[in-house]
Chains A and B, each alone.
Chain A
Amino acid sequence: MSVENTPMPELRPVLEVRDVSLGFGGVRALTEVSFEVRKGELFSIIGPNGAGKTSMLNCISGRYRPNSGRVMLNGRDVTGFTPNVRATLGLGRTFQNLALFGHMSVLDNIMVGRHHLLRNNALTGALYWLSGARKEELSHRRKVEDIIDFLEIAHIRKAVAGTLPYGLRKRVELARAMAVEPSIILLDEPMAGMNLEEKEDMARYIVDLNEEWGMTVVMIEHDMGVVMDISHRVMVLEFGRKIAEGLPDEVMANERVKVAYLGVDDDEPVPTEEQVA
């Protein structure tokens, strides 16, 4: 699948990151990074280890608060908001290291994703039959089953999440993030540690998620083959700075990116900003 035969995404930005800088003590994790993700786009962030990709995602999802800069979600400044408020405003994410609720069933894990869409509370929940909580739970169960169907995890819906193999856990985590019904979904290394077959499946799910479900996706991934094949646009980070952004082919051809990934021959001079531009 290539970029040419996919429909051009709409231009309204779902996510705007403006001059975000983040430091931990003396370590500069991010330095004035700006980018936009448009509605319907599949946007990838790549970069060598320690480039600040996950820090960037954490700034977007609210786990870290940037030292300076703004994060705008659907045109709204969410920089000061906690992660749970951002979830209700339409932000879903998965984690690099598995973060499922280990003792819950797969079904309950995904139902947790519906948290902000459900209206029943401790009191009405306890009164189950009398308060309409049952009806509400069942109608959301239907939506959750659609997601289960899409990700082909129906056979494990009653399994305890902590007992599942790695590949399935990643899929359950994607299902849980989808259940939030986000306007943008952040995937942190969805294919890390997978074998070729699992990677192919996951790539297909992500493409379908983007095209059939119409979800805007921001993805961090190390597998260049996958990134270049399925992304609409790619941003490259190195040492917390953005060194390139554009169509996959442009990024691949960029000298700075080559240097960042492959290093330079000692005899050759490092290309300067002007040469790259």
Chain B
Amino acid sequence: MISSSLIPCGQFKTSYGADTTIFLTPASRNFCLLGILVALAAPLVLSNYLLALLIQIGYFGIAALGLNILVGSTGQISLGHAAFFGFGAFASAWLNNGFGVPVLLAIPLAGVMTTLLGLLFGIPAGRLKGLYLAIATFASQFILEDFFSRANWFTGGSSGAQAAPINLFGYEVDGDKGFFYVVLFFVVVMYVLGANLLRTRDGRAFVAVRDHYLSAEVMGINLTKYRILSFGISSFYAGVGGALYGHYLGYVSAEGFTILLSIQFLGMIIIGGMGSVMGTLMGTAFMVLLPEGTEAAVSTIKHFTGDIPALTNALAYIKEAAIGLAIVLFLIFEPDGLVHRWRLIKSYWKLYPFSY
């Protein structure tokens, strides 16, 4: 879904193939490849704390992309994304512990299991729209949360499930450095798959259903099928992201997948840009880094003023309030998200110094 934006002069497409690339220009593709190369070198220089943040952006980013395909591209709504994320985490641990499936295989398989679950919970989406659908997905959030705390055979109940670290050809990947590469691999693969999906038949069908469902139907698109399919694909991403989360922490507990996390996922895609693949990653990074940034800001203030007990006590609340504030400010000032701001900045530099 690349909308028409500024293309630098001298860019001529001479084939339809060259006109359907993921990136608008070779330059932006090379820039992205460079970014991946830089990321490959990151564990060599970054501290474990920063790596942990990047890993967090990775697995949340994968899950958020799923939600963006559902909410941003298909125009559905889901308040239960965290539950599917959690289901993926439990499913992968279950497959590994119970059946000895290697972790690297268990992660995509957990994604498939979550897809099936998502297709099931997506059935109401064939009939419901807007607020009614929001409430239906809200119900799926609570049903699954309850399932997590009761299904001892699957989740370990209230004591939670152990998730083994990744084992690659007999070499155990533990620690943030090794896991960073695993997450990076999954992020690249899942984002490429997502970008491809959105530029082919079914991706267009999703956007058609969102933009004008009546004419989408007249164009031969089965509305019910695509609304439910969108839930399935969204759940696949949630499942893979959740599985990575589980194996990273080594332990999965039912408390982590509340409605609050679902809302945070929605925040990520609103801030990043609805319907945008790259925006999803930007929004996720923003949401993960915002609390850390808030904490850094508070400690800087304390550095100058000395310890203020009230501020220290309120830090947890300030972090959460900052997330809420960010969502509100984005909805008012930048409803198209960070990706739109990024395009504006790019076009500013391209047109400088004549902004017309």
- A contact set with B: CB distance below 8 Å: 61-63, 82-84, 87-88, 92-93, 95, 99-105, 108, 111-116, 118, 120-122, 124-128, 133-134, 137-138, 141-142, 145, 158-160, 176, 180
Contact = CB atoms under 8 A, between A and B. Distances in A.
Contacts of A134: 17, 20
A78 B194 CA distance: 36
Contacts of B217: 82-84, 87
Contact of A102 (B19, B202, B212, B275): B212
A92 B220 CA distance: 9
Contacts of B212: 99-102
A120 B201 contact: yes
B222 interface: yes
Pairs A-B, 5 closest by C-beta atoms: A125-B200, A87-B220, A116-B220, A101-B211, A99-B215
Interface string B22-36: 000000000000000
Contacts of B1: 104, 108
B312 interface: no
Contacts of B305: none
Contact of A63 (B204, B214, B220): B214
Contacts of A142: 16
Nearest to B196: A128
Contacts of B339: none
B55 interface: no
17 contacts: A82-B217, A84-B223, A87-B219, A87-B220, A92-B218, A95-B214, A100-B211, A103-B207, A104-B211, A108-B1, A112-B221, A115-B204, A120-B200, A124-B200, A126-B196, A137-B201, A180-B219
B219 A112 contact: yes
Contacts of B16: 138, 141-142, 145
Interface residues of B, number: 37
B193 interface: yes
Given A115-B220, A120-B201, A126-B197, A104 B207 contact: yes
Given A99-B215, A120-B200, A137-B20, 5 more contacts: A84-B219, A87-B218, A95-B214, A104-B208, A115-B204
A121 B226 CA distance: 11
Contacts of B287: none
Nearest to A102: B211
A158 B4 contact: yes
Given A101-B212, A138-B17, A159-B4, A84 B220 contact: yes
A126 B218 CA distance: 25
B236 to A, nearest CB: 10
B281 interface: no
Nearest to A118: B201
Interface in B34-72: none
B218 A121 contact: no
A122 B197 contact: yes
A137 B193 CA distance: 16
Interface of B: 1-4, 16-17, 19-20, 193-194, 196-197, 199-205, 207-208, 210-212, 214-223, 229, 233, 275
A103 B200 contact: no
Contacts of A158: 4
Contacts of A127: 193, 196
Contacts of B207: 101, 103-104, 108
B295 to A, nearest CB: 38
Contacts of A112: 204-205, 208, 216, 219, 221
B3 A115 contact: no
A84 B222 contact: yes
Nearest to A83: B217
Contacts of A122: 197, 202, 229, 233
Contacts of B229: 122
B3 A160 contact: yes
Given A122-B202, A125-B197, A138-B16, A61 B211 contact: no
B206 to A, nearest CB: 9
A88 B221 CA distance: 9
Given A102-B212, A125-B202, A141-B16, A160 B4 contact: yes
A137 B199 CA distance: 9
A60 to B, nearest CB: 11
B4 A105 contact: yes
B166 to A, nearest CB: 24
A62 B197 CA distance: 29
A156 to B, nearest CB: 9
Given A104-B1, A118-B201, A142-B16, A125 B208 contact: no
Nearest to A63: B214
B347 to A, nearest CB: 15
A61 B208 contact: no
Nearest to A161: B211
A138 B201 CA distance: 12
B20 A141 contact: yes
Nearest to B2: A105
A242 B178 CA distance: 76
Nearest to B274: A103
B98 to A, nearest CB: 27
A6 B156 CA distance: 78
Contact of A115 (B2, B4, B201, B214): B201
Given A101-B211, A118-B201, A138 B20 contact: yes
A92 B194 CA distance: 30
Contacts of B17: 134, 138
B55 to A, nearest CB: 24
